[in-house]
Amino acid sequence: MADETSEQGPVTTLATPIRLDFEFTPGIAQSKFLRGLERGEFLGQRCGTCGKVYVPSRGTCPTDGVLTTEDVLLGNSGTVTTFCVVNVPFAGQSIEIPYICAQILLDGANLSFMGLIQEIPTDQIRMGMRVEAVWVDESELIPSLASVRYFRPNGEPDADYETYKEYL
């Protein structure tokens, strides 16, 4: 009886999707940052002890362990500290390859964050390049980094290595 063959052929694979639904809250500090994005602004926070400005701020200074209570409005431009040109396709990719992923140090900030660089051939990206954020249309701004479409060169001369070497 066990050697009967099923019409559809034997089962050889089993779909075992793993799914986790949860509610995420970014907390007070990051909510401020995200609300800033909703207005088309980069909002950071300064540590009252060491003076460093974090963006996005986690609400405390990781060096001094104190709450960061002073909000700081940052500029729309920054400096590419490091970058990666993505040439390899992967599942779930939403951007056409090749594209540039860079760490960007916003003017006035002491912490870089990752952003997409566009409007430049991938072989022309370099450390120290000055870039500016390109936002979605005002009507499409949401409390998410998706409000920043990408960064692009802003035409300024490259930043001196000394100005960003602490942030690599």
Partner 1 sequence: MADSEVLHAEHRLEYPYSRSTGPIIGAFLTGLRDGRFLGATGTDGKIIVPPTEYDPLTGDDVGELVEVGPGGVIESWAWVSQPLRKHPLQTPFAWALIRLDGADTALLHAVAAPGPDALATGARVTAKFRDADERIGSMADLEAFVLEGGAS
Rank residues 32 and 105 by Cβ distance to partner 1 and give the closer one.
32
Find how far residue 122's CA is from the centre of its chain.
18
Give the shortest CB-72-to-partner 1 separation in angstroms: 15
CB of 9 to partner 1, least distance (A): 8
Residue 29 or 125: the one with the smaller Cβ distance to partner 1 is 29
Least spacing, CB of residue 13 vs partner 1, in Å: 5
- Measured from the CB atom, is 1 or 88 closer to partner 1? 1
Decide whether 143 or 153 has the Cβ nearer to partner 1.
Answer: 143
Closest approach, Cβ 60 to partner 1, in A, equals: 15
User: Where do contacts with partner 1 occur on this chain (CB under 8 A)?
Assistant: 1-2, 4, 6, 8, 10-28, 30-32, 34-35, 143
Q: Cα separations (Å) of 35 from 18, 42, 124, 144, 149?
A: 32, 9, 33, 8, 16
